[in-house]
Amino acid sequence: MFESMRRTLFACGVFLLACRGVAGAADLPSIALPAIAAPALNGTIDDSWAKAATLTVGYDFTYRRPAAAPAHVRVTQDGTALYVAFDVSQGNITANQHTNGSSVQNDDYVGVYLDPQGQRGFQYAFFANPNGARYQTSSENSAYAPEWTAVAKTTPGGYVVTMRIPLDVMRSSGSHSWQAQFVHFAVATNSLDVWVYSPIATSATDPVFIGTLTGVGVAPAGGKAAANRNALRFQPYALSESTSIENGGSTSRIGTDFSIPITPTASLVGTLHPDYSNVESDQQTIAPTAFARQYNEVRPFFTQLSSFFNERINCTNCPQTLYTPAIPTFGQGYGIEGTQGRASFAGFDALGEDRTDQAQTLNYSYEDSRQNFSWNLQRVNAAADGINDNTTTLDGGYLNQHTHFLAYSNNGVESGTLVTDPCLGTYHDLGLGYVTATSVVVAGLQRIGAQFDPLDGYTAQSDILGYQAYASHTINFTPKFWLHDIIVSDYFARYNNHFEQLSQTDSNPFVRLDLRDLLQFQFFTSATGVRTVSNEFLPFDGNGILAGYRMNTNTPTYVQYSGGPYYHGFLDAWTYLMTLPVTRRVHLALETDEDKYDTTHPGEESTNQWLERASLDWQLSKEFQFDVGVRRIIGGNLPASYQALTYNTTVCATNLYQPGCFVNAGNVSVAAHFLLRRNEFYLVYGNANNLSTEPALFFKWIRYVGAEKGT
C-alpha cells in the first residue's frame, strides 16, 4: 500500500508539470479602483460616490441569460477599506432577517466575493440584505466574523446598500490586484445576478472566471494604507455557571484561544482550557436514518483549522477521516495553518487527559481556464487508553473546464491497534464524471475495508465493495412562467461485503418543483438497504412528498410525509412546520413530528414517537438576538443499522438514545447573544442539545484582542 502511494505521488508530480497552462481568461473585466476619501455610508448614493468606479451586475447565472433588472454598483477604496454601493431595482422584496448572521442569505441580498491572492489564497465574501443585516464567510475560518459596515435603505423601485469592508481583515500578502465578483440574489425569482459571467464556469465565484480589481490598498496622497500582515488574535473567555448542588453546583472557569501570524499567509493557533458551548443550535431530531448523525463543529480551535482538511475534488459516500466532533474535550491544543503559493497546509495537536489527537494535511491545487487539478495528503492519529490509531489518505482529481469531464481517486489506509488485518484497513474510491452549472453525472467504484473506521473520523458504513452513480439536472424556465425550475436527481449504489454478501443498496430518485409564488413541491424515493450489526440485510426506506411555502426563506412552512419498509416492519413519518411572523422582528416556529413503526417481528414492539417543538426568535438589533425554545420528545426510538435494537431498561438507563428505548423528555432553553466589535456575550438558561432541561444559568464573555473574531 505505501509503495503504491509513493508511486501515486510521483505520478501526480509528473502530471502536474504536464498540466501547467496560462491562468485566467483574456476577456475577463478589470477595474482600476480610484483612491479617494471615504464616501458616505448612509444607504444613499450621493456626490461623495461620484469618483467611484462603476460596474453592472447584469447577468443571471441561475438562468444563464441577461438579468431582468440589472443592479448598478459603485466601488472605490481609501487604502484601508473597500467601499461598495449597490443600487438594486427590484419589486417584491423579501427581507425578514434583522440580526447579523447566516440567515441573511435566506433573504434578498447583495454580496461581494474577494480573492486577494486569486486561487492561491483564501476567498472572502460579504453579504447584506435590504434591512442592512450582514453576514460574511471565509475559506480561512468557518467562524469568520469581523466588524464591517452595511447600511441599507429601500427606494421606490428597490433598495440601496452601502458597504465598508476593511482590508486588514483579509490575508492579502500585500497584493494590490484582487479577483472579485459582485452578486445580487432575489428570492422571488431565485435569480443570482453576477458582474462577470463565463459560460464554462460551474460556479459563479470561481476566481479563475471572475473579474479583477486593481489598486486595492493603494492609499490616496497623504492617506494611510492597510497593514499587509494579519494581527495577532488573543481570545480570552470567562464562563460562569449557576446551578443547584444536585446538578453539580455553581462553578466558573476561564480559558483562551489565540492566533499568532508567522508569515503574511500563515499562523500558529492554539487553545488553553477551551470551552465548547454550543448554545445556538438545537440538534435533537427524530428524523429516520440508518446511519449515525453528523454534527457541525463550533469549537474555535477547529473552526480555523478544519477548512484545510478533507479536501477532495469529488467524493460520494467517502469516509471522513477527520471528523473533529469525535475528538472529546481536551485541555490544550496547538496548530499551524496557512498557504504558500498554490499549496495550503495545516496541522494540530489536541492534548487531553490520557489522550492525544493530531492531524496534518498538505493540499496543492492548480486551476486555469482550461483545467483544474488538485491533490491532498492527510494524516490523522489518535492515541488513548492503550489504543493507537493512524490513518493516511491521498486524494486527487482532474477537471477539464471546457469538456466538463472529471476524474478522481481517493485512497486511505488505517493502521494501529484497531486494525488486525492490513487488507481490511484500507479504502479506495475512483470514478469519472461530467459537471456543469446545471448538470452533474458521476459514477465510480468504491471499497471500504471491514476494519476501516478511524477513531477521529466518520464512516457511515464499513466493509463495502461496489459501485455508485449520481446524476442531477436543473431545468430553468422563463421569468414570467408559473414554474421557475425543476430539479431532478438520482443516487444509485450497490455494495457487497468481504464475505460477498450484499451489504448496502441505495436508490434515491428526487424531483423538486419551484413555483413562482414561493411554493415548492418535492417527490422522493429513498430505498436503502443496509446490513446491520446483527448481520441482517434490512430496508430503511423513506418514500414520500413535501409541500412547502417560502422554503428558502427565514419563514418556511411545510408538510412532509415519508414511509415504507423499515427494519423488520413499516414506517410512517410526518413532519409539520409553520413559521409565523408575530411582528417585524419576532418569529414563532411551531413543529410537530411523528414516527410510527409497525412490526410483527418476534421480540419487537410497535411504537410511536413524537417530537413537539416551539421556538421564539426575537431580533432586537443587528447585534442582539434573543431565543426561547420548548421541546418534548416522547415514544420509542427508531431502529438503526449501526446499533442493536433493545428494550433492556438497564441499557436504556445509561443511553436513552439507544434504538428501542422509550423517551419521555422535555427541554426548555433560553439564550441571548450579543456580538459587537471586540466583545461577545452569551446569557443562557439550560442546554438546547440535551434531551431534558438542564437547570443551570450560564454567562459567557469573550473578548477579542488584536485581530477580530475568525480572522
556-613 pLDDT, tens digit per residue, is 999 999 999 999 999 999 999 999 989 999 999 999 999 999 999 999 999 999 999 9
Q: Is residue 132 part of a domain?
A: yes
Measured between alpha carbons, how far is 697 from 691 in angstroms, rounded to an integer? 17
Residue with cell 450579543: 674
CB distance 660 to 637 below 8 Å? yes
Among residues 37, 56, 40, the alpha carbon closest in space to that of 149 is found at 40
54-63 tens-digit pLDDT: 999 999 999 8
Measured between alpha carbons, how far is 711 from 142 in angstroms, rounded to an integer? 10
- Predicted local distance difference test score (pLDDT) of residue 223: 67
464-498 tens-digit pLDDT: 999 999 999 999 888 778 998 999 999 999 999 99
Kindly tell me the burial class for residue 580, based on how many C-beta atoms sit within 10 Å of its own C-beta (0-12, 13-18, 19 or more): exposed
What predicted TM-score, i.e. pTM, was given to this entire model?
Answer: 0.87
Among residues 652, 654, 617, the alpha carbon closest in space to that of 635 is found at 652
Measured between alpha carbons, how far is 149 from 146 in angstroms, rounded to an integer? 10
In this prediction, residues 631-657 reach a mean pLDDT of 90
- Predicted local distance difference test score (pLDDT) of residue 276: 60
Co-location of 478 and 585 in the same domain: no
Q: Is residue 133 part of a domain?
A: yes
Q: Is residue 410 part of a domain?
A: yes
Measured between alpha carbons, how far is 562 from 543 in angstroms, rounded to an integer? 5
Binned at pLDDT 50, 70 and 90, residue 9 comes out as very low
Q: What's the distance, Cα to Cα, between the start and end of the chain in Å? A: 39
Measured between alpha carbons, how far is 399 from 392 in angstroms, rounded to an integer? 24
Co-location of 447 and 539 in the same domain: no
Co-location of 444 and 555 in the same domain: no
- Predicted local distance difference test score (pLDDT) of residue 271: 92
In this prediction, residues 189-213 reach a mean pLDDT of 93
- Predicted local distance difference test score (pLDDT) of residue 564: 96
Mean residue pLDDT of the chain comes to 89
Q: Above 50 in pLDDT, residue 5?
A: no
Total domains in the chain come to 3
Q: Is 386 left (phi over 0), alpha (psi -120 to 50) or beta?
A: left
What CATH number should be reported for the domain holding residue 198? 2.60.40.1190
Co-location of 500 and 645 in the same domain: no
Binned at pLDDT 50, 70 and 90, residue 706 comes out as confident
Co-location of 318 and 370 in the same domain: yes
At 239, which helix (H) or strand (E)?
Answer: strand 233-243
In this prediction, residues 332-344 reach a mean pLDDT of 91
Name residues whose C-beta falls within 8 Å of residue 21's C-beta, 6 or more positions apart in sequence: 368, 370, 371
What's 428-439 look like in SS3? Answer: EEEEEEEECCCE
CB distance 635 to 607 below 8 Å? yes
What's 584-650 look like in SS3? Answer: CCEEEEEEEEEEEEEECCCCCCCEEEEEEEEEEEEECCCCEEEEEEEEEEEEECCCCCCCCCCCCHH
* Percent share of the chain, pLDDT over 90: 67
Question: Residue 670 is part of which domain span?
Answer: 519-676
Co-location of 501 and 527 in the same domain: no
Co-location of 205 and 166 in the same domain: yes
Measured between alpha carbons, how far is 116 from 237 in angstroms, rounded to an integer? 31
Among residues 334, 331, 340, the alpha carbon closest in space to that of 268 is found at 334
In this prediction, residues 203-229 reach a mean pLDDT of 83
Co-location of 317 and 432 in the same domain: yes
510-534 tens-digit pLDDT: 999 999 889 999 999 999 999 999 9
